[in-house]
Amino acid sequence: MRLLGIDPGKKGGLAVMKNGKIEDVMGMVVGGKDLDLEYIALWIVDAGPIDLAMIEKVHAFPIERKLKGGKTQKQGIVSMFTFGKVTGAIYGILATLKIPYRLVPPGTWKKLVLAGTDRTKEAALDHVKILYPYVELKGTPQSRKPHNGIVDAICLAEYGWLTFGRMK
């Protein structure tokens, strides 16, 4: 079974997994201010037939929300609109390519894939480095750090494998 993990958003990523092994990864490609949707669609097509995509079920934050410890986090109206547009475009690409998908809340995939850890970004990175040491996690050759979107996309693909992949 070939699965596609998708962390949506401009800093998101994509990962293709076949039979529990990561075949290819890519950080979202931005052209100008927007995602290069044509490039992303062609990349998915070139990856080969996809049986199922796992998309992180995300939502825009309210304009201001309270975090633990009394801090607040803000997201502007323009960024919320852009985020919704990007996510909708990903759904459109999958619909056009006739790829079925499941929306997976972050807490759901983290509970299964990162069981026994504190479920942070660092835990996800450590997990991916251990299970998939052959995967290049940097978004570009010039990058110094691993790409969080790619790491999350790999974890989403793994969630798909653990949940649905073993059935086929």
d(CA 58, CA 105): 7
Residue % of the chain over a pLDDT of 70: 86
- Tokens 């996690």 found at: 137
pTM, 2 dp = 0.87
Of residues 67 and 38, which shows the higher confidence score? 38
**DSSP-assigned beta bridge partners for residue 4:** 16, 53
Using DSSP's 3-state secondary structure scheme, residue 4 falls into strand
Of residues 153 and 81, which shows the higher confidence score? 153
d(CA 79, CA 134): 34
pLDDT of residue 83: 67
Residue 132 vs residues 33, 59, 68: alpha-carbon distances, Å: 32, 28, 33
Q: Name the token pair of 50.
A: 């996809």
d(CA 155, CA 106): 10
Please name each of the domains of the chain with its CATH number: 2-58+99-167 (3.30.420)
Nearest to 126 by CA among 162, 165, 154: 154
pLDDT of residue 35: 84
pLDDT of residue 73: 64
End-to-end Cα spacing for the chain: 6
> What does the mean pLDDT of the chain come to?
88
* Digit-coded pLDDT (tens) for 68-127: 777 776 656 666 666 677 788 899 999 999 999 999 999 999 999 999 999 999 999 999
CA angle 42, 47, 48 (to 5 degrees): 105
Q: What is the mean pLDDT of residues 34-44?
A: 92
* Torsion angle (degrees, nearest 10) of CA 130, 134, 135, 138: 90
pLDDT of residue 76: 63
Of residues 136 and 10, which shows the higher confidence score? 136
